[in-house]
Amino acid sequence: MFDYWNPQIERMPREDLAKLQEDRLKSMVHYVYDHSPFYKERFKEAGVEPSDIKVLGDLAKLPFTYKVDLRNTYPTGMFSLPRNRIVRYHVSSGTTGKPTVVGYTKDDIEMWSDSLARALTSIGLGRGDVIQVGYGYGLFTGGLGLHYGAEKIGATVLPTGTGNTERQIMLMQDLGSTAIACTPSYFLHIAEVAERMGVSIRDDTSLKVGVFGAEPWSDETRRRIEEATGIKAYDIFGTSEMSGPLFTECREQSGIHVWSDLFLIEVIDPKTGEQLPDGETGELVITTLSKWAIPLIRYRIGDLTKIDSEPCACGRTHPRLMRILGRTDDMIVIRGINVFPSQVESVLMTIPEVGDHYQIIVDRKGPLDIMKVMVEVTETGFSDKIADLMSLSKRISKELKGVLNVVADVELVEPGTIPRSEGKAVRVIDKRKV
């Protein structure tokens, strides 16, 4: 068993950790002021000087950074170092307009890999494991991020990337993958295809761990994956602006450990910008403490979550993020009510007749928003009796109304109807935007 990658840091007493953060924050503020014209300007606008930041509590004096800042300074206006220090670019596709470009120094890549080395070790992976990386390689940060982290801990990497599902399953069997990293929806698809091929993930492969992320998912989906395939499913978190995937849950599965020697986290009220106490849900804000090509000060990630700073049973002293509800961008507003796709998923996955795939379609009828949820029924739940199906769709609609307070039109479809995705699943089609 591999317990800690860096026990000294991971179990560091809280007071020492806070001191380390304070020292790093002070140097980071001076660094961005001296190296980034963008931040120098932003600090001046806010009337704050690096010397004003003396203790951790002074963080709230600093101005926020927004995703739109990265877009407005496309491609490299937010970089703090010249190109001859940059060893890699990644680019994240924007849904509207310009994408965002991120860059890394050698030390930035090292920090990223180290963060994942700690995370992968915390879920029991190490030398001797075969980690199948089923995230996209290339401009997306998922594939290469996991790849470097897995190599760092001495595991064997199987860089399958996304797609070619039957071959993924064959290689998983033949090369003995013990872990897979991909989106949860793609893993559900892999499990479905394996079943069709007559391969049981539980009995015919060595797979024991899944590292799932890049899209919001629920504890109910986790339960389904674990029960159906016999693996342990862990949540992973990170965004390209922060580097890429960085943090996972530990074996306790009770929140994602954020390495707080590397990143300072706050949760704020998205409307007022005020810091919220631990345990309250708000928007996640991060400040990088050890990142040099594009350091970020109080960057508003857009994910809604809460922080738990209670000590974890695993012995790590770093705070945990509770399951991410989704991004403020993913939120759908139906007749003035906020709905997250992950909430719909939570409801659906508790109903045994409902399959693993669903899609939400939002449209407008006259002045009114309407929400339709397309739901696949399981093979066993599917009935040719219209009355059975009607009562099932009524029941689903009632459960959704109970949780979301929104009336949804539920359409039941046969297994295999909803398009499968190899990367991020398309859970929402908002026809109002077209």
| Chain contacts with Zn ion (rule: CB under 5 A) | 250, 252, 312, 314, 316
Distance, CA of 112 to CA of 364 (rounded, Å): 44
Residue number, 123 or 360, with CB nearest to Zn ion:
123
Closer CB to Zn ion, residue 123 or residue 294? 123
**Of 320 and 357, which has the nearer Cβ to Zn ion?**
320
Contact 124, 2 (CB under 8 A): yes
For residues 409 and 373, the answer to whether their CB atoms sit within 8 Å is yes
How far, in Å, CA of 123 to CA of 113, rounded? Answer: 16
- Rounded least distance, CB 134 to Zn ion, Å: 25
Tell the burial category of 162 from Cβ atoms under 10 Å away from its Cβ (0-12, 13-18, 19+): buried
231 and 225 in contact (C-beta within 8 Å)?
yes
Q: Which residue lies nearer to Zn ion by CB, 9 or 312?
A: 312
What's the min distance (Å) between Cβ of 5 and Zn ion?
13
Closest separation in Å from C-beta 265 to Zn ion: 16
Residue 2 to residues 117, 207, 261, 333, Cα–Cα distance (Å): 11, 18, 21, 45
Residue of 355, 342, 351 lying closest to 392 (CA atoms): 351
In whole angstroms, how close is the CB of 209 to Zn ion at the nearest point?
A: 15
Q: Among residues 11 and 67, whose Cβ is nearest to Zn ion?
A: 11
- In 3D space, the residue among 291, 231, 230, 375 whose CA is nearest the CA of residue 78 turns out to be 291
Give 316 or 323: the residue with its C-beta nearer to Zn ion: 316
Euclidean distance between CA atoms 58 and 63, whole angstroms: 11
> At its nearest, how many Å lie between Zn ion and the CB of residue 376?
35
Backbone phi, psi, residue 21, to 5°: -60, -40
Tokens of 116: 């994942």
Q: How far is the CB of 342 from Zn ion (least distance, A)?
A: 22
